[in-house]
Amino acid sequence: MVKEKDIWNVLEKIRDPELGVSIVKMGMIKKVELKGDAVYIECELTTPACPLKKEIEDSIRSELSRIEGIRNVEIKTTAKVLPSRRILPEDILPSVKNIIAIGSGKGGVGKSTVATNLSIVLAKSGAKVGLLDGDIYGPSIPRMLGIKEPVRTDGKKLIPPEVYDIKVISIGFFITEDTPLIWRGPIISGALRQLFTDVDWGELDYLIVDLPPGTGDIPLTLAQTLPNAHGVIVTTPQPAAYSIAMKALMMFKKLNLNVIGVIENMSYFICPHCKNRVEIFGSGGGKELAEKLNVSFLGSIPLDPEVRISSDEGVPIVISNPHSEASKAYFDVARRLAGKLSMISFKLLRS
Ligand SMILES: Nc1ncnc2c1ncn2[C@@H]1O[C@H](COP(=O)(O)OP(=O)(O)OP(=O)(O)O)[C@@H](O)[C@H]1O
Ligand SMILES: [Mg+2]
């Protein structure tokens, strides 16, 4: 007769593929129920977008099926996102577990498009997600998400509009497109701070912050406002990419923000007619760049006219065409990003 203890003994030996630590020691196994020759397992991951979800489930299933007397293994997987940042008592966003600032060394590389699609994909996986448009001179997120209605308030705080299950805030909600902002430094930093403190974000697993282009004052001010955030750099595969990405890396470093990785956007071209993949700048550039910068490579997004068209229409491609190559790329990048944050969280928890 199989005993529950035998099941635990087997589970104990299964390791998280990335961390190499036993899944039991990590506290991932929440329940073991044995009924005759059937066993029911409840497994809690550190992110619903876990890149190793299938691998872990497969290991549990195959290892338990090997026990003599077990014929049926049922696994229920849930997720509870852990904070990857130290949340201090004076933190301005105490109920936000992870803050990810998306930056670049220059404009127009696709930060806002990446920030928008990644936010949606993380929310689709089941996480609670907020998206903050930090581009106060050229906010593009409201248009990319087709948000037109004014922001409501409950008298105390601003209620961020919700689209595709993400909460969104942007300076663009408070100005019209033809009133350029001419605020000076201190007002800007005050306004940016308010986007964090005066908004009812509620509990968030991930807050994605779309930084303005370049490495000037505003991205600096904004990044400074973010308590214990992580940085992600978006690059394009031009030959000058290295020095541009380096600028972004230096900006994050200057602020003591930990850079977790690089995303290469417009990496290769998907021909809209034949759907063939054309490597305009050769392949592997993004990966090499990440190695040179000594950060992780989170993946590449193809240059696909549909990405731009869907953004222009206010329905991002991961919604309008979730099976496209570009959407799959956003899903992969989101999983890698979430996985990376989980590892940081786990190390933080142990330290
Ligand atoms: N993978 C892609 N394929 C095709 N077009 C793209 C892709 N990524 C972004 N674009 C388009 O490139 C343009 C610039 O993108 P986006 O606004 O996201 O860049 P950005 O880095 O946020 O720019 P800025 O620095 O001005 O804030 C947009 O028209 C967008 O639709
Ligand atoms: Mg932008």
CA of 244 from ligand 1 middle (Å) equals: 16
CA of 241 from ligand 2 middle (Å) equals: 18
Which residue's CA lies nearest to atom 12 of ligand 1?
Answer: 110
**b/e burial code for range 292-305 (CB count within 10 A of at least 16 → b):** ebebbbbbbbbbbe
CA of 9 from ligand 2 middle (Å) equals: 51
Which of 171, 270, 281, 311 maximizes ligand 1 atoms within 8 Å of its Cβ, making it the mutation to test the pocket?
A: 311
* Atom number of ligand 1 nearest to Cα 301: 1
* Atom number of ligand 1 nearest to Cα 312: 31
CA of 13 from ligand 2 middle (Å) equals: 46
Report d(CA 287, CA 110) in Å as an integer. Answer: 18
In the prediction, which pLDDT does 176 show? 66
* Atom number of ligand 1 nearest to Cα 135: 27
For ligand 1, which residues put their CB under 6 angstroms from it? 104, 107-113, 135, 138, 140, 213, 265-266, 301, 303-304, 307-308, 311
Q: Is the pLDDT of residue 251 over 60?
A: yes
Sign for the pseudo-dihedral over CA of 268, 271, 275, 277: negative
In the prediction, which pLDDT does 180 show? 55
Contact indicator for 195, 171 with CB cutoff of 8 Å: yes
Q: How many Cβ atoms are within 10 Å of 173's Cβ, its own excluded? A: 19
pLDDT digits (tens, 9 = 90+) for 56-100: 999 999 999 999 999 999 999 999 999 999 998 888 899 999 999
Which residue's CA lies nearest to atom 2 of ligand 1?
Answer: 303
CA of 294 from ligand 2 middle (Å) equals: 25
Q: How far is CA 53 from the centre of its chain?
A: 16
Closest listed ligand to the CA of 106: 1
Residue showing tokens 């004052």: 217
- Pick 5 or 216 by higher pLDDT: 5
Which of 106, 132, 234, 308 maximizes ligand 1 atoms within 8 Å of its Cβ, making it the mutation to test the pocket?
A: 308
The kind and range of the H/E element at 115 are helix 111-124
Lookup: tokens for 339: 């996985």
Q: Which of 26-30, 98-102, 213-217 has the lowest mean pLDDT?
A: 213-217
Which residue's CA lies nearest to atom 25 of ligand 1?
Answer: 107
Which residue's CA lies nearest to atom 31 of ligand 1?
Answer: 308
Per-residue pLDDT, averaged over 273-279, amounts to 84
Report d(CA 25, CA 22) in Å as an integer. Answer: 5
In the prediction, which pLDDT does 18 show? 84
Q: Is the pLDDT of residue 111 over 90?
A: yes
Residue showing tokens 């190695």: 291
**How confident is residue 42, by pLDDT bands cut at 50, 70 and 90?**
very high
In the prediction, which pLDDT does 184 show? 63
What the chain holds in terms of domains, given with CATH numbers, is 4-79 (3.30.300.130), 96-350 (3.40.50.300)
Residue type, 322: P
Contact indicator for 221, 195 with CB cutoff of 8 Å: no
Which residue's CA lies nearest to atom 9 of ligand 1?
Answer: 110
**How confident is residue 238, by pLDDT bands cut at 50, 70 and 90?**
confident
In the prediction, which pLDDT does 280 show? 81
User: What is the residue-wise DSSP string for 124-142?
Assistant: HTT--EEEEE--SSS--HH
Which residue's CA lies nearest to atom 8 of ligand 1?
Answer: 110
Q: Is the pLDDT of residue 277 over 80?
A: yes
Q: What is residue 59's three-state secondary structure?
A: helix
- How long a stretch of residues is the chain? 351
User: What's the mean per-residue pLDDT of the chain?
Assistant: 90
* Atom number of ligand 1 nearest to Cα 303: 3
Q: Is the pLDDT of residue 214 over 80?
A: no
Q: Is the pLDDT of residue 178 over 70?
A: no
**How confident is residue 182, by pLDDT bands cut at 50, 70 and 90?**
low
